[in-house]
Amino acid sequence: MLKKYSLVFVMLIALKSMSQHQDLNEKSQMYKGKKETVHDTTSLLSAFKKGHVNGHFRYFFMATDNANGLTDYFANAAGGGLRYETAEFRGFQMAVSGFYLFDIGSSDLGKLDSTTKQGNRYEIGLFDIEDPSNHKDIDRLEELYLRYNYKKSHIIFGRQLINTPFINLQDGRMRPTGVEGVWAEYNETKKLKIEGGWIYAVSPRSTTKWYYAGHSLGVYPSGVNIDGRRSDYFENISSQGVAMLGLTINAKKWMNIKLWNMHFDNVLNTAMLQMDFKMRTKEKSNFYSGIQFLRQDAINDGGNVDPEKTYINRGKKSMVLSGKFGWKNERLDYSINYTHITKHGRYLMPREWGRDPFYTFMPRERNEGYGNVHAVVGKIAYGLPKYRIKTSLAAGYFKLPDVKDFELNKYGMPSYTQINADVRYLFKGLFNGMDAQFLVVGKLNNGELYNNRRFEFNKVNMLNYNLILNFHF
């Protein structure tokens, strides 16, 4: 199937190239002695001729330095992709994109740690987590859709990339998460944006396959059930798909409201309210704050009548409160952020679909799968526009339930302290279109490990290094 779509993609690129050549040789007519080129703007062929191509090359180095006695890993990934989008034809557009990537030198990512008997967690995500031995045949058709535009609004059907609080790109590896379905945006007024749709298939980040929404759960490690036994919901969740609706209300210049609801058919309903505020103190600087409230409720049996194969047990729920307060100007931005997941139950959101939406989120770790969590994160960012450099530093303390409290700790993660240092640079001149990022992540243990290094390996007492180069054209 992929080879068939790849052939279509290549044909479209060839069509674009031929159309550019043909534009130089179009028929001409003489009007009053002047030569005038006649362009066809009313045909489907014209829409293909006037389409445009863009591309993206990416290099990613990642390495994890675990505590003494535990296995370390490194990886080098490189890849590239092309995207073609037609011009509008009576409001319609079509787009197709694909990406290929290669392992250009890595440690054995399929090797288990000799002490814990656990596998690699981070570096394998640069390739195909379902086939660690695959080093070169890693490709995916990411977009193939038909879009209809009406004024400033649109509706898209097919394979596409979306960004929502619950399903998002989570682009911290080589390629993002993709979805298949119908997605629409209404943008006809400045004060209101409405977006939503129906998603029936997902291609998670770090995979090459497409799954029905319910069967995409468990592609990543699934942790344990509330009784401590290993979760067994992969390919056992019965669901027709996911319905989402989001409203962004620009109520005032100083207040923005977001309302989201995600109905995961036969499994889970998640509702979120977010309110962001800002207060200008003087020219080009302001205080800002925000608050989030989220509630989840199981639907029916959570996807399967068998408690060992369900995603969330019948009657379970969770609630989350998150807030932030900060100040920023053109160069400096600093904030203090807090999140509390209550004791009612685990906050659950398929890791295959996206990252946490909370203000305390930090790359390389999540608080999904836990209840009774207290997280405090301080962030500071400083930019040097003249030198095209952005720097940021974040430090957080995450108080999690005991690793043996299975009802509130799905992945056996102890309490921890995390520090992230991030530097980004935007090239110009000869390398215009290129950007670089260097990210270092450190996590220290603050919980009881019970002399079991499975609770430590790839989780705490570790450093993770990332160097990413992107070239867009």
**Mean pLDDT of the region 445-451:** 98
Other residues' Cβ atoms within 10 Å of the Cβ of residue 367? 22
SS (H, E, C) the chain: CHHHHHHHHHHHHHHHHHHHHHHCCCCEEEECCEEEECCCCCCHHHHHHCCEEEEEEEEEEEEEECCCCCCCEEEEEEEEEEEEECCCECCEEEEEEEEEEEECCCCCCCCCCCCCCCCCCCHHHHCCCCCCCCCCCEEEEEEEEEEEEECCEEEEEEEECCCCCCCCCCCCCCCCCEEEEEEEEEEEECCEEEEEEEEEEEECCCCCCCEEHHHHCCCCCCCECCCCCECCCCCCCCCCCEEEEEEEEEEECCEEEEEEEEEECCCEEEEEEEEEEEEEEECCEEEEEEEEEEEEEECCCCCCCCCCCCCCCCCCEEEEEEEEEEEEECCEEEEEEEEEECCCCCCCCCCCCCCCCCCCCECCECCCCECCEEEEEEEEEEEEHHHCEEEEEEEEEEECCCCCCCCCECCCCCCEEEEEEEEEEECCHHHCCEEEEEEEEEEEECCCCCCCHHHCCCCCCEEEEEEEEEEEC
pLDDT class of 42 with cuts at 50, 70, 90: confident
Q: What is the largest CA-CA distance in the chain?
A: 92
Supply the pLDDT for residue 284.
85
Supply the pLDDT for residue 230.
95
**Mean pLDDT of the region 181-192:** 96
Q: Is residue 26 over pLDDT 50?
A: no
Supply the pLDDT for residue 281.
82
Q: Is residue 197 over pLDDT 60?
A: yes
Q: Which residues contact 393 (CB under 8 A, 6 or more apart)?
A: 379, 380, 381, 419, 420, 421, 422
Token pair belonging to 145: 């859709």
Distance CA 37, CA 254 (A): 52
Supply the pLDDT for residue 10.
43
Q: Is residue 12 over pLDDT 50?
A: no
As to burial, measured by CB atoms within 10 angstroms (0-12 exposed, 13-18 middle, 19+ buried), residue 309 is buried
**Mean pLDDT of the region 280-296:** 93
- Asked whether the beta carbons of 436 and 45 are under 8 A apart, the reply is no
Distance CA 373, CA 377 (A): 13
pLDDT class of 40 with cuts at 50, 70, 90: low
pLDDT class of 20 with cuts at 50, 70, 90: very low
Supply the pLDDT for residue 27.
37
**Mean pLDDT of the region 367-387:** 97
Q: Is residue 175 over pLDDT 80?
A: yes
Supply the pLDDT for residue 32.
40
Query: How is the chain split into domains, by residue range?
Result: 59-472
Supply the pLDDT for residue 181.
98
**Mean pLDDT of the region 158-171:** 95
Supply the pLDDT for residue 41.
59
Q: Is residue 11 over pLDDT 80?
A: no
**Domain 59-472 bears CATH identifier 2.40.160.10:** yes
**Mean pLDDT of the region 457-472:** 98
Supply the pLDDT for residue 4.
40
pLDDT class of 9 with cuts at 50, 70, 90: very low
Mean pLDDT, the chain, rounded, equals: 92
Name the residue type at position 384. L
- Give the CA dihedral 122, 123, 127, 129, nearest 10 degrees: -50
pLDDT class of 29 with cuts at 50, 70, 90: very low
45, 243, 300, 400 from 304: Cα distances, Å: 49, 19, 9, 28
**Mean pLDDT of the region 6-29:** 40
pLDDT class of 87 with cuts at 50, 70, 90: very high
